[in-house]
Structure 1
């Protein structure tokens, strides 16, 4: 299971000649993701850019069974 948690603090300010408004919001968050059995958990990478978290979880290739043509006589 991959668990991501953090805190969010946002401040928004609007103003003009007659009024001034500031809004603040904050809070904690947590999210869990079940990873597939073939996830390479030792190679997980994460990066944050412009407020966007990107998590990359590489997976091992699942070997497909060999296909063999069998000739049918008769």
Structure 2
């Protein structure tokens, strides 16, 4: 079996494809509901022997814009970024940055130490470290009867 490199330029029919691209990329289909601003931040989750680490991409956020809750093993990170329209005679031609509110929830395993969770927001990255509880990590070997 051989792999064939995908080339979107060769796979499109020029006229019809461009027509549909222009329609669907336009604001023609926007309704009041679709104009509501929201976004879902990207999250990287990793694990070591000692802890779990979650890294949220939150460019432009301040500490006061983010809320972190840990309740019954569910870690919830929520926040809001507001669009500030400054009256400095700036005409926007395009705004691709997402604004609005978000909420992400993660069910954590039972072997965490919820008293030592640490969170830092630096350079647009929210880093949350959830340490594992050493007492709960120990494996138990069960003998077969």
The 3-state SS of whatever aligns with 2:128 is strand
Change (3 A) 1:10 1:53: farther
Equivalent residue number for residue 59 of structure 1: 132
Note the residue ranges of structure 1 that are not aligned, 5 or more in a row.
Answer: 12-19, 67-74
Alignment size in residue pairs: 58
Structure number with higher helix proportion: 2
Match of 1:34 among 96, 107, 120: 107
Structure number with higher strand proportion: 1
Note the residue ranges of structure 2 that are not aligned, 5 or more in a row.
Answer: 1-73, 85-89
Equivalent residue number for residue 31 of structure 2: none
Equivalent residue number for residue 123 of structure 2: 50
1:11-62 CA-to-partner distances (Å, cap 9, x unmatched) read 7xxxxxxxx6533642100000101101111111100011110000000131
**Distance (whole Å) between structure 2 residues aligned to residue 3 and residue 58 of structure 1:** 16
Runs of 4+ deviating beyond 4 Å: none
Equivalent residue number for residue 71 of structure 1: none
Measured after TM superposition, the shift of residue 63 of structure 1 is 1.4
Moved more, 2-11 or 45-54: 2-11
Measured after TM superposition, the shift of residue 7 of structure 1 is 1.1
Q: TM-score, normalised on structure 2?
A: 0.35
Measured after TM superposition, the shift of residue 8 of structure 1 is 2.2
